[in-house]
Amino acid sequence: MSPEKPTEIEVEVLEIDGVAPMVPHLRAGEGAPPQEDRPDWRGWPGRIRTLDSRWWPLWMLLGIIALGIALITGLVVGVIYLIFRVILKILRFILQ
């Protein structure tokens, strides 16, 4: 007894519940997946430029932290500059 080979049936679907199915159009020899399977990157530039309004508390907190770091860095640089200037004036006064 030999096992029977499965029979292949080729069917073309014309309509399901009054709606024609979407058919991917592949050229012969093209191995790329259909357009529906690829992510659509064209809409990303608009989404990257606009911030999601649900995250505004996080962005506000990060902005305050960044502003604080910038102010502290400016103060430290200013104090170091003033100390350097005072030391230079003291050395000039002593060496004259």
Mean pLDDT, rounded, for 74-84: 98
Mean pLDDT, the chain, whole residue set? 80
Q: Given pLDDT bands bounded at 50, 70 and 90, which one contains residue 25?
A: low
Q: Residues 6 or more apart from 20 whose CB is under 8 A from it?
A: 14
Residue 21 has pLDDT above 80, yes or no: no
Q: State pLDDT tens for residues 32-62.
A: 555 556 666 666 666 666 767 788 899 999 9
Mean pLDDT, rounded, for 76-94: 97
Asked whether the beta carbons of 21 and 13 are under 8 A apart, the reply is: yes
Tokens of 53: 């309004």
Let me know if residue 82 belongs to a domain. Answer: yes
User: What is the tally of structural domains in the chain?
Assistant: 1
Asked whether the beta carbons of 26 and 34 are under 8 A apart, the reply is: yes
Three-class DSSP category at 59? helix
Let me know if residue 24 belongs to a domain. Answer: no
Asked whether the beta carbons of 24 and 36 are under 8 A apart, the reply is: yes
Let me know if residue 45 belongs to a domain. Answer: yes
